[in-house]
Chains A and B, each alone.
Chain A
Amino acid sequence: MDNLNDIEVRLWEYIDGLSNESEKSLVERLIAENAEWRSKYHELLEVHQSLNFVELEEPSLRFTKNVMEEIARYQIAPATKTYINSKIIWGIGIFFITMIVGFLVYGFAQIDWTTAGETKNPLGIDLTKVDYSQMFNNNLMNGIMMVNVILGLFLFDRYLSNKNKKLKEA
């Protein structure tokens, strides 16, 4: 026994022309041979045909004139792409990633791995033997911070110059 909901779904797809060829011929056969399918098909087809008769609502006769008067007060805004430079987005992304990586490395360097006790290291690396002082020292930290500050200043400069450019265009 076919589920009524399933019949409706398949019939709507058939009526909307969304069925593939094999499904289409199967539905056509079911409509021809099965009374339940045929009755449901005619019911749905009536709804479908009624909907094609629906008329659109019309606004007032002055509508177009009102819109044209309204838009006369405005200018077309420049396309988004022209004032949002993808390089700026990338720069901001790199800035934050660098910050996060920097803090993570610093954070890991501060952990005293010897207090981890007897727990087994899932990475299979003895972290207690890693000499962080060799790869992460004050000079490296200062270097990262310096790069971040330069990147931040660079982005701030770009932001201000773009804002200035937009104001000039307006």
Chain B
Amino acid sequence: MHTGPEDIDIIARVLNGDHNAYSALVERYQNYVFTISLRYVKAREDAEEVSQDVFVKAYRSLADFKGQSKFSTWLYTITTTTCITFLRKKKLEIHSLDNDKVFEVADSVDSGMRANQIEQKSKVNMVNEAIKMLSADDAQVITLFYKGEQTLEEIAQILGKEPNAVKVQLHRARGRLKEKMQKYFSEEVKDIY
């Protein structure tokens, strides 16, 4: 939740010519947009480039935002499409759970973690590391639901899916996250709980 003026009021100011007011929206949502981008593009530099592109696109299309949904929902829709376009352009590999390579990645992360004495990792880091092992789609749906303050209906709107399909996807994503945590962070899980 945020404090300060409502998104719609800031948007009205920007549309009335106060372009600097847009910085309030950037500051409010930059972490959300950056995190979602990072779920897709993995490298921080690329995620920052994509996030910047998202805010520029949102600014240029601001007159099209009618307030029928939350500004964040509209912004995350732009984020998703921008990430997909970026990946297509870069022809980067999206790790999928169906892809055997994800297990190689997970194993390499696991090895690195062990070498770095993972017992020092906090609960937050552990969950973050486990999320990174998920596919982009799973990681995104979890991020939107838990951190993006989006309902299932809003996530469905962002992803262009039916709410029921999103509900199933969220259930499965959490199931896969649980498996990752149990498989790669079993000792930390025991220590924490």
Contacts and interface: CB of A to CB of B under 8 A. Distances in A.
A58 B31 contact: yes
B31 A70 contact: no
Contact of B146 (A44, A46, A54): A54
Please classify the interface of chain B as helix (H, G, I), strand (E, B), loop, or mixed, using the class held by over half of its residues.
helix
A28 interface: no
Interface of A: 8-9, 12-13, 18, 43-44, 46-48, 50-60, 63-64, 66-68, 70-72, 74-80
B161 to A, nearest CB: 17
How many of chain B's residues touch chain A, expressed as a range? 35 or more
Contact of B171 (A9, A56, A58, A68): A9
B174 A12 contact: yes
Interface string B118-150: 000001101110010000000000110011000
Nearest to A54: B127
Given A8-B175, A71-B19, A59 B30 contact: yes
Nearest to B32: A56
A76 B52 contact: no
Given A50-B127, A59-B48, A71 B181 contact: no
Interface in B42-69: 44, 47-48, 51-52, 55-56, 59-64
Contacts of A46: 189, 193
A72 B23 CA distance: 12
B60 A64 contact: no
Contacts of B51: 59, 63
B78 interface: no
A52 B124 CA distance: 9
A60 B35 CA distance: 12
Interface of B: 14-15, 19-20, 22-23, 26-27, 30-32, 34-35, 38, 44, 47-48, 51-52, 55-56, 59-64, 123-124, 126-128, 131, 142-143, 146-147, 152, 167, 170-171, 174-175, 177-178, 181, 189, 193
A29 B22 CA distance: 50
A54 B34 CA distance: 14
Contacts of A71: 19, 22, 55-56, 59-60
Choose among A48, A53, A80 the residue with the greatest number of B CB atoms under 10 Å from its CB.
A53
B39 to A, nearest CB: 9
A43 B178 contact: yes
10 contacts: A8-B175, A12-B174, A50-B123, A58-B34, A59-B44, A63-B34, A67-B30, A67-B52, A70-B55, A79-B63
